[in-house]
Structure 1
């Protein structure tokens, strides 16, 4: 059996900034969209204003670098581009093209 391991998403959020709900919401959005195509989605508490999202240790989003937080559609597109670039995200992709 030569199955590729499923992607691991890690969302690191600042507890001092009270970003747990935002991190949890983003995790829920990813799990709702990608479901069993993900191996796990992990929330990691941090401090100092950190908010990062990684996929298999590849930095997908960093609040300071990327200027805030991604909306759900952008986040789904970024994750899709890493784990399955050919996947159609339906209304998310159609909305982005308009």
Structure 2
């Protein structure tokens, strides 16, 4: 499956996540490669592109939790898999046919 921004925006809106369309476009571009990606690293990449993103005192970007929720919901809908869910990081892989 090739992921589209439309699908992810719809899911993000249903979950009321704080992810802009530009962030979703970047997420789509990363998961469409079909490689396992660290969602923590992905949140840092997005925060480097958008300096308005705030950080928790732990150093994690606020958007990290929303990205994890978005990818977890994708996995629940059989669009990819969460390879790891832990306190330290989440690892997601998109299923590319």
Which one has the bigger helix percentage?
A: 2
TM-score, normalised by the number of residues in structure 1: 0.33
TM-score, normalised by the number of residues in structure 2: 0.34
Greater relative contact order, per chain length (Cα 8 Å cut-off, separation 6+): 2
Which one has the bigger strand percentage?
A: 1
If you compute each CA radius of gyration, which structure gives the higher value, 1 or 2? 1
